[in-house]
Amino acid sequence: MKTILFTTRNNPTAKTISKLIEAAQRLKLSIEIIHTKSSINQLHKNNKFNNIDFAIHRDFDCSPIQSFYVNHLPESTRQLNKDFLLKFNKYDKAIQYSYLSQHNSNIPLIPTIWSFDILRYHNISKYFQDIKFLVKPSWGSFGNGIQIIDSQSKLDEYYKTNRPYNIILQKYIPIEWDIRVLIVGNKALGAMKRNKPHKDSVVTNISKGGIGEQFTLSPEIEILALDVANTLSLEYAGIDILFDSDNKPYVIEVNSNPQFYSFNKTFNIKVEDLLLKYLMSTQE
């Protein structure tokens, strides 16, 4: 029986990791789970690392921990998104966005500012040529911390709780919806349209009340999403894309560990099964 390792900072009963565990059980895989330092020591003690066939790393945002797990598994272990994890050993949207802009000029990105310094509202609005712009944490998820800034006082308030180098400032493009394209391997499973929960909402995230529905993915947008994933060396990813008033697409951000339960519900599929089957089929 082959063995799969799940590494996570969360409890194994959390929704996503529990679904992955259920999928592994359906596929008759032996399961190991690491979510504390003591448990990884136990694996070393029992010499179980050499018997890990597959690995999926969930929920990491700390580079020393992430690199430790990825590098301590043998070369024979098939690790999901290994090349990405070694290339970007810290979850940071600003770093990923910068990498995309430097390595693939064909990807349409939202005009963005990132700085170590506290910036003035006047200078930012002048750069974006708009009285409004977006701010969000470079490490955030689930739509947390995203705000529209339209005055110096609002910007000052945001800086009180967020260090400047942890903030991304972006041109504000008004939308009512965006899409999440889910990538597994070199294939787009589909796209979910995420509608804003109400007209005053800044985000479309399902976790914030956004309403998901199936979206017909055009060949052009599918190629764009795959291009983004390939540039970042991602096998499994959620590519978020918006369309402006002229229907021009922009990549909002890339999630290297996307949740999939909303996608499952919208498309009536089991992404967790497809993901594990893909991983197993690509083991050398």
Q: What is the pLDDT of residue 201?
A: 87
Does residue 272 fall inside a structural domain?
no
Residues of the chain with pLDDT below 70 are 10-13, 36-48, 59-66, 284
Is the domain of 184 the same as that of 160?
Answer: no
Q: What is the pLDDT of residue 33?
A: 83
67-120 tens-digit pLDDT? 777 888 889 999 999 999 888 877 788 899 999 999 999 999 999 999 889 999
User: Could you tell me the strand order of the sheet in which 3-7 lies?
Assistant: 30-34, 3-7, 54-57, 78-79
Q: What is the pLDDT of residue 1?
A: 72
Does residue 187 fall inside a structural domain?
yes
* In contact, 148 and 156? CB cutoff 8 Å: no
The helix-helix angle for 93-103 and 219-231 (nearest 10°) equals: 110
Beta strands 78-79 and 54-57 are: parallel
Does residue 221 fall inside a structural domain?
yes
Q: What is the pLDDT of residue 247?
A: 96
Q: Give me 79's structure tokens.
A: 């690790």
Collect contacts of 124-128 with beta carbons under 8 A, ≥24 apart. Answer: 124/149, 124/155, 124/169, 128/171, 128/172
Does residue 96 fall inside a structural domain?
no
* In contact, 142 and 207? CB cutoff 8 Å: yes
Range of the domain at 117: 112-171
* In contact, 74 and 50? CB cutoff 8 Å: yes
Total domains in the fold of the chain: 3
Q: What is the pLDDT of residue 108?
A: 98
pTM of the model: 0.91
Domain end (from 126, 145, 171): 171
Q: Give me 141's structure tokens.
A: 């998820």
Q: What is the pLDDT of residue 48?
A: 65
